[in-house]
Amino acid sequence: MSRTHVRTHVTCEVNGDAVDFLTEDGESLLNALRDELGLTGAKEGCGTGDCGACSIIMDGRLQCSCLIFAPEANGTQITTCEGLATAGELHPLQQCFLEGAALQCGVCTPGFLVAAKVLLDENPDPTETEVRYALAGNLCRCTGYDKIVRSVLDAGVQIRTSAA
């Protein structure tokens, strides 16, 4: 009863930390983040890239971590939901989600925050329509998106104000 799976050594940067882990070929980056690094903020809602609950930022791009093989992360820079807050201070998106009641069950929230961060990093002054299309790859079944969209718009205002 021996195991034949080859394990690959992966080195990357996650939320500012240099990390390394062993993973089996064919394992998803989502599973590696959750199982090997204990970063369970990203969730598996579908495993097929349709729900966005596993959203991460990899080398500046929004990705579904369930669709990326873990070995592909070698040498990359990754940000997960856990990396949004800095030194005890929440990201404006996190603060606006809290104040705007933009979450109910909360399971999609990490993915929305990550997707919204990618949007606001590129465009801190989006229209409502731009927000809706930027978040169209993230499914939320609780909120009807209203308070999520409002909170992202509010966060944009905060980010612009503090940058001004």
Partner 1 sequence: MSTTEAPPNTGTNGNSGYRWVGTRPVRHDGLDKVAGKARYAADLVLPGMLHGHIVRSPHPHARIISIDTSAAEAMPGVRAVVTGADFREPPPKGADRNLMCTVIARDKVLYTGHAVAAVAASTRREAKAAAEAIDVTYELLPHVLNIANAMADDAPVLHDNMFTRGVEPRPTEPSNVAARTVYERGDVEQGFAEADIVIEREFSTQAVHQGYIEPHACVVDCGQDGKTMIWCSSQGHFKVRSATATVLGWDTSQIKVIPAEIGGGFGGKTTIYIEPVAALLSTKAGRPVKIVMSREDVFRATGPAPGSIIKMKVGARSDGTITTAKAWLAYENGAFQGIAAMLGCMCVVSSYTLDHLYVEGFDVVMNRPVNVAYRAPSAPAAAFATESVVDEIARQLGMDPIDLRLHNCPSQGDPTPYGPKWPVIGLRDCLEAIRDSDHYQSALPSGQGRGVATGFWFNIGEASSATVNLNENGTATVITGSPDIGGSRVSMAIMAAEELGLDVHLIQPVVGDTEVVGFTDVTEGSRATFATGMAVVEACRDLKRQLCGRAAKTWDCDIEQVDWVDGAAVHGPGEHDPLTIAAITAGAKRTGGPLGATASLNARGAGPAFSVQVADVSVDNETGCISVERYTTAQDAGTAIHPSYVEGQMQGGVAQGIGWALNEEYIYTDDGTLENPGFLDYRIPVASDLPMIETIIVEVPNPSHPYGVRGVGEVGIVPPLPTMANAVADATGCRITDLPLSPPRVLREISAQG
DSSP code, position 48: S
Contact 136, 152 (CB under 8 A): no
24 belongs to the binding site for partner 1 (CB under 8 A) = yes
Residues 38 to 67 in contact with partner 1, rule: CB under 8 A = 39-48, 50-51, 53
77-79 vs 7-14, strand pairing mode = parallel
Shortest gap between Cβ of 104 and partner 1 (angstroms)? Answer: 4
Measured distance CA(10)–CA(27) in Å, rounded: 12
Residues 6+ apart with CB under 8 A from 18: 11, 12
Nearer to partner 1, 48 or 161 (CB): 48
Segment interacting with partner 1 (CB under 8 A) among 71-79, 117-125, 145-153, 154-162: 145-153
82 belongs to the binding site for partner 1 (CB under 8 A) = yes
DSSP code, position 141: S
Measured distance CA(82)–CA(56) in Å, rounded: 10
120 belongs to the binding site for partner 1 (CB under 8 A) = no
The binding site for partner 1 (CB under 8 A) comprises 1-3, 5, 24, 31, 34-35, 39-48, 50-51, 53, 80-82, 84-85, 90, 94, 97-101, 103-110, 113, 128-129, 131-133, 135-150
